[in-house]
Amino acid sequence: MHIATEIPAPAPRPKRRKAPWLIALAAAAALGGLTYAFTGGEDTVEGFQERPMACSEAMYAMGWVLPDPASDQRCTELSGGLAGHTQSGTFRMARADARPWLASLDGERYPPDGAGSGSVVERKEGLALEILRPTGSLQASRVKVDVRWEGEDTAVVTFETFD
């Protein structure tokens, strides 16, 4: 005689909800892809476009000459929006040539950071200079140049233009 025993069916599994963060992550990825597709991959923020440029080109636009030799050059141009057209960059040069190069830059001298002198300002960590209305074709109202000593022989130059 065979007795049939009934095996109970397993309890239904509760439906798992997808984590809200997973949905948000997927939406952000999709939006990022669409933004990239419509802007061509360029960096854009509220109408601004940033593009890399040669530091020699940036110096030329201000009526200046890039020191020779200059290494590790990284310069960019930001255009559009209310900012108009600005440039910034950094490069390395010989420390011994930094002061003469700064002194050679054309434009009306402005005391950097409220310093009392209208020329190159020497600080413990390097040099600073601000120039109003550089002579080149770039319509900048002011250029700030900072030089930071990097060892006995090298200086790192950073510049930024303001419309």
pTM assigned to the model: 0.64
Q: Are 156 and 92 in contact (CB under 8 A)?
A: yes
Domain ranges of the chain: 17-41, 47-162
| Element spanning 11, H or E | none
Dist. CA 95–CA 125, nearest whole Å: 12
pLDDT tens readout for residues 103-122: 888 888 776 555 545 578 88
- Pick from 161, 107, 89, 97: which is nearest to 127 by CA? 97
Yes or no: say if 136 and 127 are a contact pair by the CB < 8 Å rule. Answer: no
Six-digit token string for 79:
């255009």
72 exposure class (CB count in 10 Å sphere: 0-12, 13-18, 19+): exposed
144 or 12, which is more confident: 144
Please tell me the predicted confidence (pLDDT) of residue 66. 92
Range in 3-7, 60-64, 90-94, 124-128 the model is least confident about: 3-7
pLDDT tens digits, 17-75: 555 555 555 555 555 554 444 444 444 445 667 889 999 998 888 889 999 889 999 99
pLDDT level of residue 150 (50, 70, 90 thresholds): very high
Q: How far apart are CA 59 and CA 131, in angstroms?
A: 13
